[in-house]
Chain A
Amino acid sequence: MLRVSDIRVYYGAIQAIKEVSLEVNDRELVALVGANGAGKTTILRTISGLIRPRSGAIDWHGTDLTSLASHQIVARGISQVPEGRQIFAGLTVRDNLMLGAIQRRDRGAFDQVLERVFEFFPVLKERYGQPGGTLSGGEQQMLAIGRGLMSRPRLLLLDEPSLGLAPLMVWRIFEVISRLKAEGVTILLVEQNARKALDVADRAYVLETGRIIVSGAARELAANPDVERAYLGG
């Protein structure tokens, strides 16, 4: 399980995260919701080792992640699909997917995971030799998620997977998220689309200006009048 304890994160002199603690149990889907600028992306980046917390600990199955480099964190089974897709536009779909599995050396397993990604997103098979930049926005998001799955992560960090997508595509992305959960992948999902996120999640944390203000079962949070007023547009 992932246990984030009392992390504080600063950008220069500005404190972005004020003592946040959260947990994601194995095989659980946990949503992190909150307004723009609340610090959701910062938390995911800190878990992935892109930013170091000034204090606090991040424990993953007995290892403290705060002293590890990003590639060592990926090697421990944590994969992130970053906000805004961040695919390699100049590289082919093939190379993008290969890079997702860069730490996996066995060829047989690569083909197997690739088949699974194609099963989720058949369009990636059609676009296999094309540069990532030629794909549509929705296809790029599928590539970003597919690339994140290529390392066969035990924990998947999804940052705003539905941002800027057409409704049909949002529906498909959430369908894939549900399937991944059913297959036993542990997921920490950051979403502005709080209603959708609470629909699929087991538990959720609500973040406001760098602090967790409410947490609990996703179903209960969805019914909480304060949460509904602030984040579900009720």
Chain B
Amino acid sequence: MTASEFGQQFVNALSLGSIYALVAVGLAMIFGILRLINFAHGEVLMLGAFAAYFIAETGLPFVVVAVLVVVTTVAIGLLMERVAYRPLRGAPDVALLLTSLAVSIALQNGALLAFGAQPKPFPTPAMLSGQLQLGGGVQISQVNLVTVITALTLMVLLTLFVTRTRLGISMRATAENAMAARLMGINVNTVIVAAFLVGSALAGVAAILWGARVGRIQPDMGFIPVLKAFVATVIGGFGSIPGAVIGAYLLGFGEIFLVALLPDSLGSYRDAFVFAGLIVILLFRPQGILGSTEPEKI
């Protein structure tokens, strides 16, 4: 691998990890507070991509389209919480898990009925297409650059939110000890709504970046990102937001460099290698990288 190839793969890995991170943070936040693995999170992303497709047809500028996509995914996330998950408050965790699978399947099939199985082209705007020439023959695609910058900016804002604001600190407190949080006077419903709001907004951003990356959209497109984000949160330690980000970047780098370094005949097995790697990590650190070793309290 030449230096310029390495540079390109590096940016590519950073970009892939960034998208995983945007999805994984939403999963980790919702899990931390509700103990719910929200498999329907991928469908929020999918519907965001379709929203981009239909809104872009109106000819609005891309920035406006992006804002409306995020508004749409936030609305979907909040509706999901209100309709599917809130009625199950106090139910066993497994009931929530099964509900999220049901929501995921229902939304996917609803999209199949409404939009058809035929993939549609993602309305990639000019700022997310084309290559950028750097010195020394290194070129990076604009979508990768925008993805990395967007994700890093959002991660910084997210960090400020969870460490500096009352709502953010309340969210961390609720994730750590929901009973004590209630005794402090934290309204747990507000915190749950906030988690869905932030998670769905990040999924909306991820929808645009993922759509621009793969170039086409279809009803089952949410599955792969949410699966990878799930792996990232497991690697990082479930429920830990920084853990999810670290796991996402590890996964992004693992995938890209496996493909780059493996002979072509093995490249198509990259997911097999990724999941084998996951098993190895869990053998040695079942709680994930940043997961707590504290046993579940009764």
- CB proximity of B127 to chain A, nearest CB, Å: 39
Q: How far is the CA of A88 from the CA of B178 in the complex (A)?
A: 10
Give the number of residues in A that approach B within 8 Å (Cβ atoms).
25
Closest B residue by C-beta to A49:
B182
- CB proximity of B9 to chain A, nearest CB, Å: 36
From A71, A88, A98, contact of B182 by CB (8 A): A71
Q: Mark A14-48, 1 if CB is under 8 A from B, else 0.
A: 00000000000000000000000000000000001
Query: Is A99 among interface residues, defined by CB-CB distance under 8 A?
Result: yes
**Do the beta carbons of A82 and B180 come within 8 Å of each other?**
yes
- Interface residues of A, Cβ cutoff 8 Å to B: 48-50, 69-71, 74-75, 79-80, 82, 86-91, 95, 98-100, 102-103, 147, 151
Contacts of A74 in B (CB 8 A): 183-185
**Do the beta carbons of A91 and B169 come within 8 Å of each other?**
yes
The 10 closest A-B pairs by CB, nearest first: A74-B185, A70-B182, A86-B180, A103-B185, A71-B187, A71-B185, A99-B184, A88-B173, A80-B183, A95-B169
Q: How far is the CA of A91 from the CA of B169 in the complex (A)?
A: 8
Query: Is B170 among interface residues, defined by CB-CB distance under 8 A?
Result: yes
Count contacts between A and B, CB distance < 8 Å: 61
- Interface residues of B, Cβ cutoff 8 Å to A: 166, 169-170, 172-173, 176-177, 179-188
Q: With A86-B177, A98-B166, A102-B166 in contact, do A50 and B182 touch (Cβ < 8 Å)?
A: yes
SS class, residues of chain A in contact with chain B? loop
Contacts of B172 in A (CB 8 A): 88, 90-91
Interchain Cβ contacts under 8 Å between A and B, 13 examples:
A50-B179, A50-B182, A71-B182, A71-B185, A71-B187, A75-B185, A86-B180, A86-B183, A87-B180, A88-B180, A90-B172, A99-B170, A102-B166
- CB proximity of B295 to chain A, nearest CB, Å: 14
Q: How far is the CA of A102 from the CA of B172 in the complex (A)?
A: 14
**Do the beta carbons of A88 and B176 come within 8 Å of each other?**
yes
Contacts of A89 in B (CB 8 A): 176
